[in-house]
Structure formats: C-alpha cells, structure tokens
Structure 1
Amino acid sequence: MRKLGIPTVQDRTAQMVIREELEQIVDKQFSKDSFGYRPNKSAHQAIKQCRENCMKMDWVIDLDIKSFFDEIDHDLMLKALGHFTKEKHIHLYVARWLKAPIQKKDGSIHSRDKGTPQGGVISPLLANIFLHVVFDKWIENNHPEVKFERYADDIIIHCDNFKQALRTLEAVKARFKQCKLQIKDGKSNIVYCKRNQKKHPPFKVHYVTFDFLGFTFKPRMVKGYFGNFHLGFTPSISRKRQKRINQTLFKMKLHRMVHLRLPDLAGIIAEKVRGWINYYGKVRMSELHYVFRFLNMRLAKWVRNKYRRFRRKHWFFAYKWLQETAKHYPNLFVHWQYGFMP
C-alpha cells in the first residue's frame, strides 16, 4: 500500500508553483514515448502507439515495478533532478518534500530516505524525471533496437524476437537494481503477440496477452478494410477493470434508492458512465456490454423494489418493464444512448 501524503495548504501551493516552473524545464526534454501526466499527452495515445508497435514487432516485455512510488531513493531522485536543472530553490524545495517525516497511526514520527508520498502535487512529475533518467534515456542509448511506451511506472517494451526480449529484460533488471528498484518476477512477463494464424514460435509460449492502462491486448479476429477478417493483436477493456466498475456500481446501491425517480438515477450515474465510455469506449466499445448489462440488471432490481406489482414476481417482469421504458425513452441513461439497452 502506498503512503498517502497530505500536504498543508502552504505546501500544496508551493508545490504547484515549483511544478509549473519545473515542468517548463523538463517536459521538452522528456522522451516522446513517455505519456503519463504530461501536457498534450494521454493514455489513449499510449494505447494507440502500443497497438501499432504490437503489429510491427512480435514480442512484448510487460514490466511491473515493485512498489515504485514507495521505493524511489531520495539521493538518486535529487541526482536525476540535477540532470535537468541546477536551480537551488527547486532542489531545496524538492529535498524538503521528499524527506518530510511520516506520522504513523500511533503518533510516532519516522524519517524517510526513499519514496514519494502519493497525494503530493509534484509527485507524478518527480516520478517522470526519475524514470526518464533511469529507464527512458538509458534504453534509448543502450537498446535502440527496441521500442517502448511508458505511462508513469507502467512500461511496455517491444522486441523483434524472443532472444532479444530475454536479453533486454535481464538488462532492465540489472539497471533497475543499480538504481535501487526491483522488477516483480511473477508479474513481469515476455508475451508473444500472435497476429498470424499460420505463424507460430518454435516453442510453447506461456503468455499471449498483457494488460496496459486498463486494456487487455490479445489475439482477436478483426475486420479489414475490404470486409475480410484476419487475426489481429488488439486492445479492449480488461476483465479486471470490468469487475472494478461493477464493484463501483454495486457499492452505489442504486436498487435501494426507491425514493427517487428513474430520471434521478440517470442523473446520479451519468458522469461516471460518460467517463467510462469516453475512456474504455475508444477501442472496441462493444466490450463494455459486460459492464452495462450488469448496470441494467441493477436498474431492474430498483424497478422491482420501487413498484409493488413486481415484488413477488420473477425479476424478468421488472426487466421487461425496463426494456419498454428504454424503447420509449432511449436517451434517458447515457449508456442507452450508446446502444447498451436492456
């Protein structure tokens, strides 16, 4: 679990000022393959580039850094900062924020020599600075034959063949160890990007899918420009994220809000649903049916609790009532507007 840092109002204001000043200095020096927490960069751009690279290169290293934000060494962090700026006031402020002691639940105060507390305004920028020196610049200089995408501490590396992937993974492990970071062995895998039904590697492959920024990349049949189907290696919302969204909907307990009308429920969930569609619906929106089928079932449960005539009947009758309502008011819920009808 990451340590949560709650800065004071004064510290938060100072962090915002320093972040804006520092961002002007460092962002233009960052790699084009770094997408996280940067102006004019987005997760969707990272996903698009990852998809394009998966179509060009057969192998992927799915890197998982162990407790990254908790393990950043302060001395190395300040050294990395020195690659970008020598401004004393920036170094003084950053050192102060990094080394601020932590108060635990029992009231005891503990000093720190590593980690950037989650919650700090400047923490994402510091993480980008650290990994630019530790990973981005290093791999561009030492392994120019590979390609990569990085979003904060989520890293995907693309290789042409399995031997190259093995060599690169071992080199990255050694580099991270040198910089006091660890790779999770059980979760950092070499993945085969199967996109040709006739092409097979000369050995059994254990991993043929990987997750990146909430999307699962795996072999799927895709429609070509001329209407023909072929095997591709494409992303869609991951099962893990689907389950997380369903848990969010479950915890909202919509079925108990019987004092509200159906349009009121639509208003309560509209912002969340629109956010999910805008993020996960960019690629293979149809895969969201699992999420919105669950939401429609929750709404049917609300109908059953709201109206007495459905309480002793099978849930199917409440669902059928919801279907009729959706036919008459197809724009009532955001997900109905996108075709995810009950």
Structure 2
Amino acid sequence: MRTLNRFIRKNKVLSTINKWLKAGFMKNGIKYESLSGSPRGGIISPLLANVYLHYIDLKMEELIKEEKPIKKGNLEYGKAWRKNQHHQLGVDRYINLNPKTRIEYIRYADDFIIGVKGEYDKAERVKNQVTQWLEQDLKLTISKNKSKIVQANKGTRFLSYMIKVN
C-alpha cells in the first residue's frame, strides 16, 4: 500500500483498494483470508497492474527520449522506397548502420516487451535498468525465464503472438 500511495492521491480510492485486498475469497461457501494481496486473475488485478506499472511507462518514456535519434530525411531512401527498388540500392544496410540506438516499448497489463535496435550490450544495459526499477523501486519479483534478450530475427512470443523481424 505504501507504494500505491506514491501513485494515488485520493484517500477514498486507496481505502477501497485496501478493502478489496483484505476481502479474501470464497470457496465452497467458506471464506478464506487473502494471504498475498490480490489473487492472480482477480477483479482488481488489472487496475493495480496499470496503476503500479505506470511508473515503468514513465521511466521507459524518459529512456526512449534519451536514445531517440534525430530523424533526418534520407532523400535516396525515399526515392527508392517509392520506386519499390530499395532492396536493389542496398539502402537497408545503410539504415541498419545507424549509430544511435532506438528503443520501442509496449505494455499490456503486466506484460511488456522492449525492442532495442542496437548492440547486444546496450540491450543488456536496458534490461538491467528495467529490472532494477521493477525490483528496487516497485518491489516486484522478475521471472528470469521470461525476461530475456532475443535476436529480432529469431522471434519471441508476446500476448500469444509471435513477434519476429525477417
């Protein structure tokens, strides 16, 4: 609840959340106490995930701004794309040599994926930074087998979809 106090300013909302968390659950007509807050899949879980993980959204927004390259129009690439001959000019290779790292971030409830266009060590630093925010700032436990670095051409599953770059 202390962490939620940082994000929610209305006492009435905090009081309602606290009551939901202490309400427990019913099984076969018997009331059981809730041992660890909101049960997975509980009615309050998506709300808490969105309130809690909004902090990560803000942190990722800052990180993306730091890494975002200044976009300059590439006249040669634009002409080739319009003529649908970009593959013949080797322009794709030139674009992939961009020294600036690009970061993309998508979150749905408590699942998120971070795309890093850049060197492996940069992806490792981003992963470590996000892990630190989650563990130290939000006191969340990270699943080591779910949080991994994967090459985009190998693909990974996100929200039951395979995401892959050819």
TM range (shorter): 0.5 to 0.7
1:115 aligns with 2:38: yes
Q: In percent, how many aligned pairs have the same letter?
A: 32
How many residue pairs were aligned? 128
Residue among 106, 119, 139 paired with 1:149: 106
In structure 2, the partner of 1:95 is: 18
In structure 2, the partner of 1:159 is: 116
The whole-number CA distance in structure 2 between the counterparts of 1:217 and 1:111 is 37
Q: Secondary structure at the match of 2:135?
A: helix
Q: Runs of 4 or more off by more than 6 Å in structure 1? A: none
Q: Secondary structure at the match of 1:184?
A: coil
Q: Secondary structure at the match of 2:164?
A: strand
| TM-score normalised by structure 1 residue count | 0.33
Per-residue CA distance 1:105-156 (angstroms, 9 max, x = gap): 7957435453355241x432221111102x1112222453222011111111
1:172 aligns with 2:130: yes
| TM-score normalised by structure 2 residue count | 0.64
Instruction: Give unmatched runs, 5+ long, in structure 2.
Output: 68-102
Is the contact between residue 106 and residue 114 of structure 2 (CA under 8 Å) also seen in structure 1?
A: yes
The whole-number CA distance in structure 1 between the counterparts of 2:35 and 2:125 is 35
In structure 2, the partner of 1:189 is: 148
In structure 2, the partner of 1:79 is: 5
The whole-number CA distance in structure 2 between the counterparts of 1:107 and 1:167 is 48
The whole-number CA distance in structure 2 between the counterparts of 1:109 and 1:185 is 31
Per-residue CA distance 1:282-320 (angstroms, 9 max, x = gap): xxxxxxxxxxxxxxxxxxxxxxxxxxxxxxxxxxxxxxx
Residue among 123, 130, 137 paired with 2:58: 137
Residue among 48, 51, 72 paired with 1:126: 48
Q: Which residue type is aligned with residue 152 of structure 1?
A: A
The whole-number CA distance in structure 2 between the counterparts of 1:187 and 1:119 is 22
Q: Indicate the RMSD between aligned Cα atoms, in angstroms.
A: 2.6
Q: Which residue type is aligned with residue 154 of structure 1?
A: D
The whole-number CA distance in structure 1 between the counterparts of 2:52 and 2:42 is 17
In structure 2, the partner of 1:256 is: none
Is the contact between residue 103 and residue 109 of structure 1 (CA under 8 Å) also seen in structure 2?
A: yes
CA shift, 1:183, in A, is: 1.9
The whole-number CA distance in structure 2 between the counterparts of 1:156 and 1:176 is 14
Q: Secondary structure at the match of 1:189?
A: coil
Is the contact between residue 106 and residue 113 of structure 2 (CA under 8 Å) also seen in structure 1?
A: yes
Q: Secondary structure at the match of 1:148?
A: strand
In structure 2, the partner of 1:216 is: 162
The whole-number CA distance in structure 1 between the counterparts of 2:36 and 2:160 is 32
Query: Of the two structures, which has the highest relative contact order with CA contacts closer than 8 Å and spacing of 6 or more?
Result: 1
Report the CA distance shift for 1:116/1:107 in structure 2 as closer, same or farther (over 3 A). Answer: closer
- Of structures 1 and 2, the larger Rg is shown by 1
Q: Which residue type is aligned with residue 162 of structure 2?
A: T
Is the contact between residue 147 and residue 158 of structure 1 (CA under 8 Å) also seen in structure 2?
A: yes
By percentage of residues, which structure has more helix? 1
Report the CA distance shift for 1:114/1:166 in structure 2 as closer, same or farther (over 3 A). Answer: same
The whole-number CA distance in structure 2 between the counterparts of 1:159 and 1:105 is 48
CA shift, 1:190, in A, is: 0.9
Is the contact between residue 100 and residue 112 of structure 1 (CA under 8 Å) also seen in structure 2?
A: no
Per-residue CA distance 1:208-257 (angstroms, 9 max, x = gap): 110112211235xxxxxxxxxxxx3xxxxxxxxxxxxxxxxxxxxxxxxx
The whole-number CA distance in structure 2 between the counterparts of 1:151 and 1:117 is 15
